[in-house]
């Protein structure tokens, strides 16, 4: 397979050198190791010294002639260190096979026949299909990421489609039964039950907003910002599946009334408690003092009719495993059971899923609050207020991402990209298939990622990470698909705006509409630009005198 079915010229030597230096400079963001080391500890990515092994990538087993290429691959990879390590180990097995079977073969000399030979070896192994699929996928990723180097093949030697097909069954996540979740809600709102403030705050954050557990626990103490009659809760995310070099901040608007006020007050109380705790205690050096959930060690104990709390001297940063242990302790004490009389011990991840399907807020507003604002006595929200609410939060979502103006954003039409620097445009044209992004209206690759050093998308939805990023370059050929997608999400907004049980869908749809509107504006500006350019070409041709004059 060629790069996008074409053979491209290799980069000039100075570009290759600058790319290598660019990658080596990234080491300073990862840890205190050098490129020549065979053991890389991503210390600057590790906030938990007890999990050091998850942040180490080794190159000891790699044949020496291939070691540099694999290290560059590791620097080009932006996932979790343990994921990078796993991929490097799989690629190392392939390189050891090449070294053993084909003596003195360079990376640039590897062809499809060599890869096919390794594929045959994989088929002979008594391993599960998904394991073989992972090995082949790692090799595909290796050659694709190194296409910009002179010392790699001019054509990608792997097959376009992974030969080891494995369809993974979707896991069935059971939500917490309504009977049980309502019991938990009553306990967590009951101030007479001795539940530490940090646990009560975490519970209502995970119940109210569908965020990841690790995101909530990494909130900073200055996470609250006022915004007119509401607050903005700022929550960092690193997208655990990979894709972020640095954490991004997503913002959730919450009306300071009703349940929203209750949640905001809990956060404010926890801010004060954490501040006081830091002033009165000596904090260990490995604990980041800007976190919100810095707490005193404690645990639940059974005190007969209701739980009690036992405190210890240690100060630590609350973690996911501790949260789940506390849920287990409290569940056994409260003895909440389902309709089959089975004891339900929930996990924090289950609460997150329940937040998506069971949340009674529309971007922080309850239906009662909305009716009070509009003066209506039923739950049919007036169209004019729905429009105002949507426009307000579209503005918030676009403001959060700090996206550039649609007038100066890049756009592509018939292979030509405007509003983009010459170097990046030249780089993208070498292998456009490599830089294709997410789908729109069911079609793949309807956009280009102009971040040539490694994707780092913004946004909070897998499908819309690219749309919410300044690196995304829409393609005018797919304007109809962008419009179809926009109309679909506008229909979702109309269908969910008055349904309290679908508030999460409503919030998600508003965000998607805001990003698609911006993309449509970029396309409109691109069309006007190409019209003007075409007209100018015709005028220049008309004003050019004949050659004999």
| Percent share of the chain, pLDDT over 90 | 20
User: What pLDDT shows up at residue 472?
Assistant: 80
- Across 14-18, 103-107, 113-117, least confident range: 14-18
User: What pLDDT shows up at residue 35?
Assistant: 93
User: What pLDDT shows up at residue 33?
Assistant: 93
Q: How confident is the model at residue 133 (pLDDT cuts 50, 70, 90)?
A: very high
User: What pLDDT shows up at residue 312?
Assistant: 87
Cα–Cα nearest to 250, from 465, 49, 534: 465
**Average pLDDT over the chain, rounded to an integer:** 76
Q: What's the burial of 159, exposed, middle or buried (CB within 10 Å: 0-12/13-18/19+)?
A: middle
- Mean pLDDT of the region 347-373: 53
Helix (H, G, I), strand (E, B) or coil at 7: coil
Distance set, CA 277 to CA 217, 295, 314, 487 (Å)? 17, 8, 11, 51
Q: How confident is the model at residue 144 (pLDDT cuts 50, 70, 90)?
A: confident
Q: Give residue-wise pLDDT tens across range 49-95.
A: 656 888 899 999 999 999 999 999 999 888 888 899 999 999 999 99
Residue 111 Cα to chain centre, angstroms: 35
d(CA 528, CA 530): 6
Report whether pLDDT(314) > 60. yes
| 337 strand-pairing partners | 343
- Number of alpha carbons in the 13 Å side-chain half-sphere of residue 171: 3
Q: Give residue-wise pLDDT tens across range 505-520.
A: 777 777 788 888 888 8
Q: What's the burial of 476, exposed, middle or buried (CB within 10 Å: 0-12/13-18/19+)?
A: middle
Q: Give residue-wise pLDDT tens across range 403-425.
A: 666 666 777 766 677 677 777 77
Report whether pLDDT(379) > 80. no
CATH of 178-359, one of 3.40.91, 3.30.70, 1.10.443, 1.50.40: 1.10.443
Helix (H, G, I), strand (E, B) or coil at 471: coil
- Mean pLDDT of the region 517-539: 75
d(CA 206, CA 354): 9
Cα–Cα nearest to 220, from 205, 234, 207: 234
Angle, helix 320-334 to helix 348-358, in steps of 10 degrees: 80
Cα–Cα nearest to 325, from 309, 348, 342: 348
- Mean pLDDT of the region 16-35: 83
User: What pLDDT shows up at residue 469?
Assistant: 75
| Percent share of the chain, pLDDT over 70 | 68
- Across 137-151, 228-242, 288-302, 373-387, least confident range: 373-387
What H or E segment, with its residue span, contains residue 308? strand 307-317
User: What pLDDT shows up at residue 227?
Assistant: 67
Report whether pLDDT(362) > 50. no
Report whether pLDDT(359) > 70. no
Distance set, CA 427 to CA 108, 182, 475 (Å)? 20, 56, 17
Tell which wins on pLDDT, 98 or 460: 98
Quickly list H helices, 416-465: 422-430
Q: Give residue-wise pLDDT tens across range 3-12.
A: 443 333 333 4
Per-residue b or e along 368-401, where b marks 16 or more CB atoms closer than 10 Å to that residue's CB: ebbbebeeeeeeebeeebbeebbeebbebbbebb
Q: What is the dihedral of CA 186, 187, 193, 198, to 10 degrees?
A: -120
Neighbours of 437 (CB within 10 A): 23
Residue 363 and residue 510 in contact, taking contact as beta carbons nearer than 8 Å: yes
Tell which wins on pLDDT, 487 or 228: 487
Helix (H, G, I), strand (E, B) or coil at 501: helix
Q: Give residue-wise pLDDT tens across range 452-501.
A: 666 644 433 445 667 777 778 888 888 888 888 888 888 888 787 666 56
Report whether pLDDT(219) > 80. yes
- Across 148-157, 334-343, 460-469, least confident range: 460-469
Quickly list H helices, 172-312: 178-189, 197-208, 213-217, 258-280
User: What pLDDT shows up at residue 10?
Assistant: 38
User: What pLDDT shows up at residue 421?
Assistant: 72
Neighbours of 528 (CB within 10 A): 11
Report whether pLDDT(375) > 50. no
Supply 44's token pair: 């600057």
User: What pLDDT shows up at residue 275?
Assistant: 92
Domain boundaries, the chain: 13-145, 178-359, 383-540
d(CA 473, CA 336): 52
What H or E segment, with its residue span, contains residue 311? strand 307-317
Residue 224 and residue 231 in contact, taking contact as beta carbons nearer than 8 Å: yes
């Amino acid at each position: 397979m060629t790069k996008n079915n074409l053979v491209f010229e290799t980069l000039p030597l100075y570009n290759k050198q600058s790319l290598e230096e660019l990658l080596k400079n990234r080491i300073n963001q990862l840890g205190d190791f050098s490129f020549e080391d065979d053991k890389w500890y991503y210390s600057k990515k590790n906030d938990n010294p007890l999990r050091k092994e998850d942040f180490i990538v080794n190159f000891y087993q790699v044949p020496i002639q291939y070691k540099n290429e694999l290290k560059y691959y590791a620097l080009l990879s932006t996932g979790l260190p343990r994921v990078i390590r796993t991929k490097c180990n799989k690629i190392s097995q392939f390189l050891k096979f090449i070294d053993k079977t084909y003596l003195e073969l360079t990376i640039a000399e590897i062809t499809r026949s060599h890869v096919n030979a390794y594929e045959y070896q994989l088929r002979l192994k008594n391993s599960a299909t998904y394991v073989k699929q992972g090995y082949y996928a790692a090799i595909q990723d290796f050659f694709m990421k190194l296409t910009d180097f002179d010392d790699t093949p001019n054509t990608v030697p792997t097959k376009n489609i992974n030969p080891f097909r494995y369809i993974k069954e979707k896991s069935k996540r059971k939500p917490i039964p309504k009977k049980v979740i309502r019991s938990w809600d009553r306990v967590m709102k009951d101030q007479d039950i001795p539940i530490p403030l940090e646990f009560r705050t975490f519970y209502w954050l995970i119940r109210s907003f569908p965020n990841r557990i690790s995101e909530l626990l990494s909130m900073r103490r200055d996470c609250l910002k006022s915004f007119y009659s509401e607050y903005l809760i700022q929550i960092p995310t690193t997208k655990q599946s990979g894709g972020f070099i640095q954490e991004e901040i997503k913002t959730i608007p919450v009306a300071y009334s009703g349940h929203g006020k209750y949640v905001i007050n809990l956060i404010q109380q926890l801010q004060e408690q954490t501040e006081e705790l830091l002033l009165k205690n000596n904090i260990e050096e490995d604990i980041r003092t800007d976190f919100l959930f810095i707490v005193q060690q404690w645990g639940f104990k059974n005190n007969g009719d209701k739980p009690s709390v036992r405190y210890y001297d240690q100060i630590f940063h609350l973690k996911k495993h501790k949260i789940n242990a506390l849920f287990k302790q409290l569940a056994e004490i409260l003895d909440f059971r389902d309709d089959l009389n089975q004891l339900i011990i929930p996990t924090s991840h289950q609460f997150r899923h329940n937040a998506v399907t069971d949340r009674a807020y529309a971007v922080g507003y309850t239906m009662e609050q909305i009716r009070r604002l509009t003066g209506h006595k039923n739950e049919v929200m007036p169209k004019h207020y729905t429009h105002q609410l949507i426009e307000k939060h579209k503005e918030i979502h676009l403001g959060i991402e700090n996206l550039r103006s649609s007038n100066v954003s890049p756009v592509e039409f018939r292979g030509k990209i405007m509003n983009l620097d010459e170097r990046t445009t030249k780089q993208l044209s070498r292998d456009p298939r490599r830089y294709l992004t997410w789908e729109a209206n069911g079609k793949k690759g309807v956009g280009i990622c102009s971040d040539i050093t490694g994707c780092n998308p913004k946004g909070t939805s897998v499908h819309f990470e690219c749309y919410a990023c300044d690196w995304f370059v829409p393609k005018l050929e797919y304007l109809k698909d962008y419009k179809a997608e926009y109309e679909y999400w506008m229909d979702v907004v109309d269908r969910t705006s008055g349904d309290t049980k679908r508030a999460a869908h409503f919030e998600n749809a508003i965000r998607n509409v805001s990003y698609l509107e911006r993309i449509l504006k970029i396309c409109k500006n691109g069309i006007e630009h190409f019209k003007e350019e075409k007209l100018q070409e015709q005028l220049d041709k008309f004003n050019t005198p004949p050659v004999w004059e």
